[in-house]
Chains A and B, each alone.
Chain A
Amino acid sequence: MAKPKVAFYWCASCGGCEETVVDLNEDILKVADAVDIVLWPVALDFKRKDIEAMKDGEIAVSFINGAVRLEEQEEMVKLLRQKSGLVVAFGACAHLGGIPGLGNFWNRDAIFQRVYKEVPTVENPEGTVPQQKTKVKEGELELPEFYDTVKTLNQTIDVDYYLPGCPPPPDLIMNAVNAILKGELPEKGAVLAPNKALCDTCPRAETKPDKLSIDEVKRPWQIKLDPEKCFLAQGVICMGPATRTGCGETCIRANQPCRGCFGPVDGVVDQGAKALSMVASILGVEGEENMTEEEVKKLIDGIADPAGTVYRFSLASSLLRRRRME
Chain B
Amino acid sequence: MKKITIDPITRLEGHGKIEIFLNDEGNCEWATLQIPELRGFEKFSEGRAAEEMPRITTMICGVCPTAHHMAATKALDDLWKVEPTTAAKKIRELMYNAFQAEDHILHFFFLGGPDFVVGPQAPAGERNVLGVIAKAGLEAGGKVIEMRKRMRNVLRIIGGKPVMPTCGLPGGVSKQISEDERKTIIEAGEYGVDFCKFALSLFDDIVLKNKEYVDLVTGDVYSHRTYYMGLVDENNKVNFYDGQIRVVDPNGKEFAKFKVQNYLDHIREHVEPWTYVRFSYLKKVGWKGFVDGEESGVFRVAPLARLNVSDGMATPLAQEAYDKMYETLGGKPVHSTLAFHWARLVEALYASERVLELANDPDITSDDIVNLPTETPKEGIGVVEAPRGTLIHHYQTDDQGILTGVNLIVATQNNSAAINMSVEKAAKALIKKGNVPDGILNMIEMAFRAYDPCHACATHSLPGMMPLEVSVYDSKGELIKRLRRD
B-contacting residues of A (Cβ < 8 Å)? 12-20, 22-23, 25-26, 41-48, 69-73, 76, 98-100, 102-103, 105-106, 110-111, 113-116, 119-124, 128-131, 134, 136, 138-139, 141, 143-144, 146, 166-167, 169, 219-225, 227, 250-251, 253-256, 259, 304-305, 307-309, 312
Which residues 70-104 of B have a CB within 8 angstroms of A?
76, 80
Q: Which of B202-210, B217-225, B246-254, B460-468 contacts A (4 or more CB under 8 A)?
A: B460-468
Instruction: Give the residue of A13, A73, A76 whose beta carbon is less than 8 angstroms from that of B62.
Output: A13
**B residues at A contact (CB < 8 Å):** 1, 3, 9-14, 19, 21, 29-30, 32, 34, 36-40, 42-49, 51-52, 55-56, 59-63, 65, 76, 80, 145, 149, 152, 156, 158-167, 169-171, 174-176, 263-264, 267-276, 278, 280, 287, 370, 372-373, 394, 400-402, 407, 409, 456-457, 460-463, 467, 485-486
Q: Which of A15, A23, A103 contacts B457 (CB 8 A)?
A: A15
- Chain B residues lying within 8 Å of A119, measured Cβ to Cβ, are 42, 269, 407
Q: Contact at A222–B10, with CB atoms within 8 Å?
A: no
Q: Are A305 and B43 in contact (CB under 8 A)?
A: no
| 25 A–B pairs (Cβ distance < 8 Å), ordered by A | A14-B457, A15-B62, A41-B461, A42-B462, A46-B10, A48-B9, A71-B13, A98-B59, A103-B39, A103-B43, A105-B47, A111-B38, A111-B40, A111-B44, A114-B46, A129-B273, A130-B272, A136-B30, A138-B1, A138-B29, A225-B370, A250-B156, A251-B166, A255-B175, A308-B47
State how many angstroms separate the Cβ of B275 from the closest Cβ of chain A.
6
| B40, B267, B372 interface centre (most CB from chain A within 10 Å) | B40
For the complex, what is the distance from the CA of A76 to the CA of B175, rounded to whole Å?
Answer: 42
Tell me, rounded to whole Å, the shortest Cβ–Cβ distance linking B58 to chain A: 8
Q: In the assembled complex, which residues on chain A have CB atoms less than 8 Å from the CB atom of B169?
A: 220-221
Q: Is the CB of A138 within 8 A of B44?
A: no
Are A45 and B486 within 8 A (Cβ)?
A: yes
7 A-B pairs with least C-beta separation: A16-B62, A15-B457, A254-B160, A111-B40, A45-B467, A304-B49, A138-B21
Q: Given known contacts A15-B63, A72-B12, is B462 in contact with A43 (CB within 8 Å)?
A: yes
Q: Chain A residues with Cβ under 8 A from B51's Cβ? A: 219-221, 304
Contact A122 B269 (CB under 8 A): yes
Q: Using CB atoms, name the residue of chain A closest to B463.
A: A43
Task: Select A18's contact among B40, B278, B394, B457, beta carbons within 8 Å.
Answer: B457
**Roughly how many angstroms separate A69 CA and B38 CA in the complex, as a whole number?**
10
Determine if B460 and A255 form an interchain contact, defined as CB atoms under 8 angstroms apart. Answer: no
CB pair B49 A308 closer than 8 Å:
yes
A251 to chain B, nearest CB (A): 5
In the bound assembly, the distance between CA atoms of A39 and B270 in angstroms comes to: 37
Contact B12 A131, beta carbon cutoff 8 Å: no
Contact A41 B270 (CB under 8 A): no
State A126–B264 Cα separation when bound (angstroms): 20
User: CA separation between A121 and B39, bound complex, in Å?
Assistant: 18
Asked if B43 and A14 sit within 8 Å, CB to CB, the answer is no
Contact pick for B287, options A13, A123, A169, CB 8 Å: A123
Q: How many angstroms from the CA of A162 to the CA of B283 in the assembled complex?
A: 48
CA distance A98 to B60 in the complex (A): 12
- In the complex, what residues of B have CB within 8 A of residue A224's CB? 370, 372
How far is it, in angstroms, between the C-alpha of A106 and the C-alpha of B461 when the chains are bound? Answer: 32
A122-B271, A123-B287, A143-B274 known; A16-B407 Cβ under 8 A: no
Assess the A221–B373 pair: CB atoms within 8 A. yes
**A137: nearest residue on chain B (CB-CB)?**
B30
Residues of A within 8 A of B162 (CB): 19, 23
Which of B32, B60, B267 contacts A14 (CB under 8 A)? B60
Asked if A309 and B271 make an inter-chain contact with CB atoms under 8 angstroms apart, the answer reads no
Contact call B174/A120, Cβ cutoff below 8 A: no
With a cutoff of 8 Å between Cβ atoms, the chain B residues found around residue A22 in the complex are 462
| Residue with the greatest number of chain A CB neighbours at <10 A, chosen from B13, B269, B275 | B13
Extra A-B contacts (5), CB below 8 Å, given A100-B59, A111-B44, A251-B161: A46-B9, A47-B9, A102-B56, A122-B268, A309-B52
Whether the Cβ atoms of A42 and B52 lie closer than 8 Å is no
Q: Which of A76, A121, A253, A256 contacts B55 (CB 8 A)?
A: A256
Q: Which residues of B contact A103 (CB under 8 A)?
A: 39-40, 43-44
Q: Which residue of A lies closest to B31 (CB)?
A: A138
A46 / chain B contacts, CB cutoff of 8 Å:
9-10, 12, 467
Q: Verify B13–A167 contact, CB threshold 8 A.
A: no
**Closest chain B CB from A158 CB (angstroms):** 21
Whether A18 and B48, one on each chain, are in contact in the complex, defined by CB atoms closer than 8 angstroms, is no
Q: Is the CB of B62 within 8 A of A167?
A: yes
Contact of A139 among B1, B34, B40, B62 (CB under 8 A): B1
What's the least CB distance linking A307 to chain B, in Å? 8
Residues in B whose Cβ lies below 8 Å from that of A105 = 44, 47
- Contact partners of A19 in chain B: CB under 8 A: 62-63, 162-163
Residue among A143, A255, A307, A308 making CB contact with B34, cutoff 8 Å: A143
